[in-house]
Structure 1
Amino acid sequence: MLRAIIALLLLAVFAGHPRDGIAQSTGAATLVADKVWIDNNNTLTAEGHVEILHGTTRIKATRITYGGTDGALRIDGPITMIEGDDIIVLASSAELDREMQNGILRGARMVLSQQLQLAAAEIHRVNGRYTQLYKTVASSCQVCAEHPVPLWQIRARRIIHDQQERQLYFDDAVLRVLDIPILYLPRLRLPDPTLKRATGFLTPTFKSSSKLGWGLKIPYFIKLGDHADITLTPFLGTKTKTFELGFRRAFRSGDISFEGALSSDDILPGRDRGYFFGTGRFELPREYVLDFDVEITSDRDYLLDYGYSSKDRLDSAISISRARRDKLLEIELTHYHSLRLSENNDTIPSLVGNLTYHKRFVPDMIGGDASLRFDAHSHYRTSNIAGNLGRDLTRASLRLDWRRKWTLQNGMVASLLGEINADYYSVSQGLAGELNGSQITPAAAVELRWPFVKTTTVGASVGASHVLEPVIQLVWSDSTTANIPDEDSRLVEFDEGNLFSLSRFPGADRYERGYRANVGLTWTRYDPKGWSLGVTVGRILRAHNLGQFRASTGLDGRNSDWLAAVQLKLPNNLTLSNRSVFDNDFDFAKNETRLIWQTDKLKIGSSYIWMKAEPYENRPLDTSEWTFDGAYDFDPNWTGKTDWRYDFIAGDAAYAGIGLEYRNDCVKVDLSLSRRFTSSGSLTPSTDFGLTVSLTGFGSNTSGRSRAHRCRNYN
C-alpha cells in the first residue's frame, strides 16, 4: 500500500507537462533514497543520498520534502541538478513547485556546457524556461574555492538565461580583469556556450601596419534564419577607413559564400579600393556538380596591403562536372586577371575554356587497362598583336592508351604500354607556318621490373626488410612534329613521379619523341625499430638528341641529367626528403630539400629549393630560397610560432613572422608580428602587428580551452 501511495504522489509531483517551446518528457519520475516515509499530514519525505530521475533532468540532494497545500518541493543540499548534457546547477537549498517549473535556489552556481560558470546568491526558475540569477559572477575561469579570483569575470546585478533561445541577458554588467574593473555596460546580451550562431558582436581584433597604421576590427554577426548569415566588420585605423562584408547561404543542394571590402586609405588617397571574392557549389540532377568562384580587386596591391590574400593571379571560373568510378566529365570556363607587374593582361590568355571527358575500361579481346580521353581547349587574348602576344588558339585532343602486365616465372614483371594521340588545332593571330589542322602521334613501350626482397637474419639489423627494384622502359614515339605553338607545356618537371612516363610534357602541345630508354633503380629499407629509407635513381637515354627540352629542366641532350630522390622517416616523427637533378659533373639544375619534425611540443617544417634561371618559364633569375616554419608549446598554456623565407639570390629575407599565443580554460590571447621585405613596383616592404583576445564560454567556440575545468564539489 505504501509503495502505491508513493508512486501516485511521485506521478503527481514529478510528471512532466509540455511547455511552449520546450519539449518535456511525460510520465512519472524515479525516486531513489536511503529512507522514504509519509507522515500524518500526508507529507512525503525522502532522506539520505536522494536522487530523482525525470526525463533528461537528474537531481541529487540530501533531503527532499513534498507536501502542504501548495504542493511545494523543498530540497536540502548540497544539491546537484543536471539538465541534459549542457546545464549543471549546484545549490545549498531549493524550493520548487510540483512541476519543477518555478522556484528558488539559494547559494547556487550554474555551469553551462562545462565552460561558463555563473555563481549567484539566489537563482529563480520561471516557467521552466528562464533562469534568473541575482548578485551574479560569470566566468569560464574556475571560481571554485581554490580559485577565488578568476582571470576575468563579469559581475552583474542580474543575469537571465533563456534556455529556449540560449541567450544570456546581463543587467548592470561590469567586466573585471584580475579583479580590476575594465568596462561597464548597463545592458549586455551574449549567447550561451551551446549556441553556434547568434546575432551579435564577435571577437574584436587590434591590428597595426606600417602602411595602414593601427586600428581595430569589430565584426558584427547577423543571423538570417537557420541557413544564412552576414558578418559586417568596420575596420577603423589611423590611415584607413575600411568596411568588410561576408555573406553565407546554405541551400538544400549546395551553398554560396561571398566576402569583400571597401577602403579609403592614405596609400592611394582620393581613390576607392576594394575586393570581392565569392564561391559556390551545387549538386545538380544525375550526379552533376556546379562550381563557381569570382575574384575581383581594385588594384594590384590591395589584397597584400590588407592581408586578404597572397594571390598574384585572380581566376573567376564556372564549371559543371560529374565524377564516377570509371568516368569523368568536366566543362569549365575561366577568366584570368594577373596582378604581376611582369605580365600584361592584354597579352596573357584572359578567357580560357576547357572540356574533359575521361573513361577507363577493360578491353574484351586483349585485356589490361585502357582509357579514352577527350580534351577541348580554347583561349582568347585581348591583344591584336600577332604571335605570342596576341595568339588565340582552339585545340581538340583525343587519346587512347592501353597497358597490360605479366609476372614471369623468375619474378620479373613485364608490361606493354601504348597510346595514340590525335590533335586538331585552329590558330588565329599566330605566326606564319604554325599548324592549322591535325596531327597524329603514336607511342609504344615495353617495361621490365625485377623486384628483389630480402630480410636480414643476422647482425644488429635482424628483421630489417630490403626491397630493391631495377626498372628499364624502352619507348618509341614518332619523331616528326608539326610547328605547334607551346601554350601549356612550358613548366616541365623531372621527378620520380614521371621517370617512367611516355612523355614528361605537362600539356598537349608537346609530346616527348624518338627512341629512348627510361632506366632507374629504387631501394627501400624498412627497419623493425621504426625507421625507413627510400632511394630512387634514374635517367633517360636517347638514341638521338632532338632538342625538345630546355637545359634548366635536366632533360635536354642525348642523355638526361641524373635524378636522385631520397626519403628518410625516423621513429621520432622526423621526415627528411630530397630531390635533385644533376649532370655527370654534379652541376645541379634543381634541388629541393624538405624536413618535417613533429613531437608533442614541437612542430618544425623547413625547405630549401634551388633552380637555374629559365626565361622560357618566366624565371629570369636563379631561384635559391630557404623557408622555415615552426611552433613550440612552452607549456600547456604558451605557444610560440615563427615562419621565415630567405632569398639567397637577393641576399635578404623575403618574409618573417613571429607569434605568441596564450591559452587557458577561459581566455585565448594571440599576438603576431610579421614583416614583408620584398619590393617591386608599387609594392613596398611593410610590417604588420595583430592582437586578438578571446574570452571562452560564450557561443560554441572552445578553441581557447587548454583543459576542461572541474570543481571538486561536483565531480
Structure 2
Amino acid sequence: MRKTRILPALASSLVLGAGALGAVLGGGVPSVAQAPDAARMPASLVADQVSFDQQTERLTASGNVEVLYGDRVLRAKRIVYDQRADRIEAEGLLLTDAQGGVLIADGATLTPDLEDGLIESARLLIAGQMQLAAAEARREGGFDTLYRTVASTCTICEGDTRPTWAIRASRVIRDAAAQRIYFENASFELFGVPIGWLPRASIPEPGAGRANGILLPRFQSSSQIYGFGIKLPYYRTLGDQADMTLTPFITTSGARILEGQYRQRFESGGFNLAGSLALDDGLGDGGGLRGALSAQGAFALPRDFIGDFDLNWASDDSYLGQFDYSDADRLTSTAAIHRTMLDEYVSFGTVAFQALAGSDDVDAGTVPFAFPEFTYRRLYATPGLGGGTLGINGDSLGIIREDGQNMFRASGGGDWTRDGNLGHGVLAEVVAGIDFAAYQAWEARATGDTETYVRTVPTGSIELRWPWMKATSNAQHVIEPIVQVVYSHAFGDSDVPNEDSQLVEFDDTNLFSLNRFPGTDRLETGFRANLGVSYTRLDPAGWSLGLMAGRVLRSTSSDAQFYEGTGLAGQWSDYVTAVSLQFDWGLTLVNRSLFTDRLDFARNEFALAYEGERGGLRAAYIYLQEDDTNPFIGLQPETSEIALDARYRFLPNWELRGLWRYDAVAHANLRAGAGITYGNECAEFDLSLQRRYTYTDNLPPSTSVSFGLKLSGFGGDGETKWPARVCMRGA
C-alpha cells in the first residue's frame, strides 16, 4: 500500500514534526524537530516507500514518489530531503506548475518549495507544445534558466532528431509569470540547416495569446514592377482592447513602404484601421507620396440601432495594383445607421465611389456620391381587411457629382399582401400597392436646367401556384406551375432621372418580381403575365435536382420601357431557365440561362462548387452577348470567361492550389496561378506563383511570387489545421 501523509511546511522547510514522522514510518520515533511555522501551506508526500535517518536528518522516499505543494507537483523515482541543508534531491523527476510547464530531468537539487534549484539534463514542455532540451537548468525566483538549449514545437522522431524547425541557444530564460521565453546567442534552423542568427531574441509562450514582438517575415516579388520584396511585421499590444501592427515593406527596386493596422474594441463595438504609405515607390516617376487607407467598424447604438462603416481610399488609380494589394477597379465606401426588427427596418447612410485602374473610360468628375440614402419599411397586420399584411415605406436619395447631373429624390408608398389556399392545393397571393416619388434635378441630362418631376405608380397583382407532389419508393417529385398577373401604370412624369436602374438583369430570381428594375428610379408598368414552372426531385440517396423555366407575356408589343438587350423587350420576353444539382457529399452545380425563341443565348452562367476533406473546387463560366442597346452605359462587348480555383491535399501534410482565368472571346489568359503548401503540427510553408496577363496604361502584365512561413507555438491558441508529422519506423 502506498503511503500518504501531509507534511507541515514542506513548501518552505519540509521540517517534520514527531507525529507526522512517526506516522510515515509506522512506529514510535522520538521527536526530531518541530515545524517552525504551522500556518504555512502544508505539502503532501506520496510514495511506495519512505524512510528517515535520524542521525543525518535525511528523509528518503522511493517508488512512484509524488510531492504536492499548492499548484506544483513533483513526481520522481526517488527523492531525498536533507533537513540540515534544506534541499530536495530528486532522480528521474517530472515537475509541473500552474502555467502549464512540465519539467523532465534525470536529476535535480531543489528547494523544498520546488521553486529554485539546479537541474541536470532538463527537458521543459510548455503548454503541451514548446519543448526545450538543455544540458543544465536552474530554477530561481520564478525563472527557468536553461543552458546549451534546443527549443521547438515540432515532433522529434527516433533516429531523426532534426525537427522541422528549432532554435539553438547558449542560454534560454523562461519567465513563467510573463509567459515569455528569452534566447541568447540564438540560431534558427529549418530541417537541421541554420538560416539565421540573433544575439538576443524573445518569443511568447504557447497559449500566451497577444504578445509584443516581431512576427515572421513574408517574401514576395513582382517581375515588372517592384522586383523582390520583404515584409517584416512588428506587433504591439495597447492594453486589453487595442493593438497595432507596423510592417516595413522594402523592395529591390528601391520602394520603401510602411504598412500599418490598428484595432480597437469597446463594450459597444470596435473598429479596424489599415493602410500603407509609400515613402518611396521605387518607380522614379516623382509622383510624390502614395498610399491607401481602409477603415471598418460597427457600434451598438441606443434603441437597438447599429452604426457601421466601411471606408476605402487610394491616392491614385494604380497604387493598389502595382504593389499587389488589390485588383479592384473601383473602391466603394459606405457608412450607415440602421435597425432591423421583426416588423420594421430603417437605415440612413451614404455611399461613395472611387474609380481605379481598369476604369480608364470613367471620368472621375462624373463618379457619384450618394447622400442622403434613407430607407424605411414598416409592416402591420390587418385583421380588419380579412387578414394580410400592410407595408408602409419611404426613402430618399441624393446624388452629388463634380460634373454632370445632381439629383434628390424623395419617395414613399404602401402595399397590402394577402395569401391563402383556394382549395385543391391551389395557393394564391394578392398584392395591391402604390408608389409616390418627387425629384429635383440640377443640370438635368435632358435639358441642362433645374427640373422637377413627380410620379405616381399604382400596382395590383395576383399570383397562383399549384404544386403537385408525388412520392415513390425511389424519390419525391414536386412540380409547380406558377402564373402571376400584374398591372401597373405611371401617372405624371415617367421619364424621371435614372441613377439606380441603368443595368437590368433578367433571370429566374426576378421572374416573379413586380418590378424587374434593380432600383426605384424606374418602375415596371403595363399589363403582363409572368409564367413559369418548376420541378424538384429529392432522392433518398442524398441528392436533389431542381429545374425551372419561364418567361413574361405583355399585353402589347410596343412597350419600350426595356431596351432590347435586357431580354424583356417586346410582347414575349426571352426564356429564363435554371438548373441545380446538389449532393450531400459536397458537390453543387448551378446553371442559369437567358435565350430567345430561336435558342440564341443572350446570357449563360454556370457555377460548380465542391468542398471535401482532401480538396475543393470552384469553377465558373459566364457568357454575355454583345449589347449596344443600353442607352445609359453604351456598348457592352461580348463576354465569355472561364474561371477555376482548386486545391487538393495529395498527402496529409501537402496541398496544391491553382487558379485560372481565361477570356474565350480574345482567346487569351487573364490570370493564372499555382501554389503549394506544406504543414504539420508546428509549421506551415507556403509558396505561390501568379501571373497577370492583362494590361492597362499604368499596370503592365507581371508575375508575382510570394513565400510565407508560419510557426506554431509562438503565442496564440496553438491550434493547427495540419496533422502532426508521422515518424517512420526505422527513421
Q: Could you say what the CA RMSD is over the residues aligned between the two structures, in angstroms?
A: 2.7
**Counterpart in the other structure of 2:344:** 327
**1:622-701 to 2 correspondence within 5 Å?**
622-700=638-716
Distance change (3 Å), C-alpha of 1:117 and 1:185: same
Residue 498 of structure 1: how far off its partner (Å): 1.6
Change (3 A) 1:274 1:454: same
Mapping of residues 468-617 of structure 1, within 5 Å: 468-478=479-489, 482-545=494-557, 546-615=559-628, 616=630, 617=633
Q: Which amino acid aligns with 1:473?
A: Q
Partner AA of 1:361 in structure 2: Y
SS in 1 for 2:384: coil
Query: Matches of residues 64-79 of structure 1 in structure 2 within 5 Å?
Result: 64-77=79-92, 79=93
- Residue 302 of structure 1, CA deviation: 0.7
- Output one character per residue of 1:197-244: Cα deviation in whole Å (capped at 9) or x when no partner: 222211111111021111211222222222222222222212122222
Cα 1:95–1:371 change in 2 (3 A) is farther
How many angstroms does 1:640 deviate by? 0.9
Q: Work out which of the residue numbers 363, 366, 374 in structure 2 matches 1:355.
A: 374
Q: How does 1:245-256 map to 2 (within 5 A)?
A: 245-256=260-271
- In structure 2, what is the equivalent of residue 465 of structure 1? 476
Amino acid at match of 1:246: Q
**Alignment-derived partner of residue 407 in structure 1:** 421
Are 1:50 and 1:63, in contact at CA under 8 Å, matched by a contact in 2? yes
| Residue 54 (structure 1) shift | 5.0
Residue 300 of structure 2, aligned match among 269, 279, 283: 283
Check the 8 A contact 2:507/2:592 in 1, yes or no. yes
**SS state at 2:208 partner:** coil
Q: Distance in 1 between matches of 2:156 and 2:380?
A: 67
Task: Give the whole-Å Cα distance in 1 for the aligned partners of 2:675 and 2:593.
Answer: 34
> What do residues 89-147 of structure 1 show as CA deviations (whole Å, max 9, x unaligned)?
222223322222212332221122332211012222222x2111111111122235444
Q: After the TM superposition, which of the residue ranges 26-35 and 182-191 deviates more from structure 2?
A: 26-35
Distance in 2, matches of 1:308 and 1:5, equals: 66
Provide the rounded CA distance (Å) in 2 between the counterparts of 1:474 and 1:327: 28
Q: CA separation in 2, counterparts of 1:10 and 1:32?
A: 13
Equivalent-residue separation in structure 2 for 1:319 and 1:518 (angstroms): 36
Q: Does 1:317 align with 2:330?
A: no
Change (3 A) 1:28 1:323: farther
Quote how far apart the aligned CAs of 1:426 are.
1.2
Residue in structure 1 matched with residue 365 of structure 2 by the alignment: 346
Superposition TM-score, scaled by structure 1 size: 0.90
Which consecutive residues of structure 1, in runs of 5 or more, have no partner in the other structure? 16-25, 384-389
Deviation at 1:262, TM superposition (A): 2.2
The residue type paired with residue 259 of structure 1 is A
Q: Distance in 1 between matches of 2:284 and 2:602?
A: 42
Distance 1:646 1:268, change over 3 A: farther
Residue type of the partner of 2:301?
L
Equivalent in the alignment of 2:472:
456
Distance (Å, rounded) in 2 between the aligned partners of 1:710 and 1:231: 35
Q: How much has 1:183 moved relative to structure 2?
A: 2.5
CA distance in 2, matches of 1:589, 1:709: 53
The alpha-carbon deviation at position 392 of structure 1 amounts to 1.0
Deviations 1:35-60 (A, max 9, x none): 45555466554432334455544443
For 1:638 and 1:491, locate their aligned partners in 2 and report how far apart those are by CA, in whole Å.
45
8 Å contact kept, 2:366–2:401? yes
Counterpart in the other structure of 2:26? none
Residue 407 of structure 2, aligned match among 361, 369, 393: 393
SS where residue 696 of structure 2 aligns? coil
Q: Choose from 286, 311, 322 the match for 1:270.
A: 286
**Match for 2:457: what amino acid?**
T
- Mapped to 1, the partners of 2:513 and 2:146 lie a distance apart of 72
Q: Tell me if 1:103 matches 2:117.
A: yes
Match of 1:373 among 375, 381, 393: 393
- Work out which of the residue numbers 223, 245, 248 in structure 2 matches 1:234: 248
Q: Classify the secondary structure of the residue corresponding to 2:322.
A: helix
DSSP 3-state at the match of 1:634: strand
Counterpart of 1:234, as a letter, is P
SS, match of residue 599 in structure 2: coil
Distance 2:197 2:439 in 1: 73
Shift of 1:619: 5.5
The amino acid that maps onto 2:478 is: V
Q: Structure 1 CA distance, aligned partners of 2:258 and 2:221?
A: 17
Whichever residue aligns with residue 478 of structure 1, its letter is H
Q: Give the drift of 1:76.
A: 2.4
The 10-residue stretch of structure 1 (201-210 or 184-193) with the greater mean CA deviation from structure 2: 184-193
Deviation at 1:522? Answer: 1.1
Q: CA deviation at 1:691?
A: 1.2
Decide whether the 8 Å contact of 1:434 with 1:484 is kept in 2. Answer: no
Aligned residues: 688
Q: Residue 391 and residue 14 in structure 1: after superposition, are their counterparts in 2 closer, same or farther (change >3 A)?
A: farther
Contact 1:72–1:98 (CA under 8 A) maintained in structure 2:
yes
Q: Which amino acid is the alignment partner of residue 285 of structure 1?
A: P
Mapping of residues 130-141 of structure 1, within 5 Å: 130-141=143-154
Tell me by how many angstroms 1:479 deviates: 5.4
Shift of 1:624: 0.8
CA distance in 2, matches of 1:39, 1:452: 94
1:346-398 residue CA offsets vs partner (Å, 9 max, x unmatched)? 12313432011122221231222332221111111111xxxxxx111111111
| Cα distance, 1:525–1:131 mapped onto 2, change above 3 Å | same
- What is the CA-CA distance between 1:609 and the residue it aligns to? 0.4
* 2:396 matches 1:364: no
Counterparts of 1:29-108 in structure 2, within 5 Å, are: 29-36=43-50, 40=54, 44-53=59-68, 55-77=70-92, 79-84=93-98, 86-108=100-122
- What is the alpha-carbon distance in structure 1 between the residues aligned to residue 14 and residue 533 of structure 2? 78
3-state SS of paired residue (2:365): coil
Counterpart secondary structure, 2:366: coil
Q: Deviations over 1:235-284 (max 9, x none)?
A: 22121222222222223322222222222234352223222222232222
Deviation at residue 32 of structure 1 after TM alignment: 4.2
Cα deviation 1:445-469 (Å, max 9, x = unaligned): 1111111221113xxxx3x111111
Q: Does 1:179 align with 2:192?
A: yes
- Native 8 Å contact 1:115 1:709 kept in 2: no
- The alpha-carbon deviation at position 668 of structure 1 amounts to 1.7
Structure 2 counterpart of 1:75, one-letter code: A
SS state of the match for residue 320, structure 2?
helix
SS class of match (2:150): strand
Name the CA shift for 1:479/1:174 in 2 (closer, same or farther; >3 Å): closer
The 10-residue stretch of structure 1 (576-585 or 96-105) with the greater mean CA deviation from structure 2: 96-105
Cα deviation for residue 154 of structure 1 reads 1.5
Give secondary structure in 2 for the equivalent of 1:317: strand
Read off the aligned partner of 1:485 and give its amino acid letter: P
Counterpart of 1:23 in structure 2 is none
Q: Distance in 2 between matches of 1:14 and 1:672?
A: 61
CA deviation after TM superposition for structure 1 residue 11, in Å: 7.5
TM-score, length-normalised on structure 2? 0.88
CA contact (8 A) 1:435 1:482 kept: no
3-state secondary structure, aligned to 1:346: helix
Q: Distance in 1 between matches of 2:345 and 2:370?
A: 23
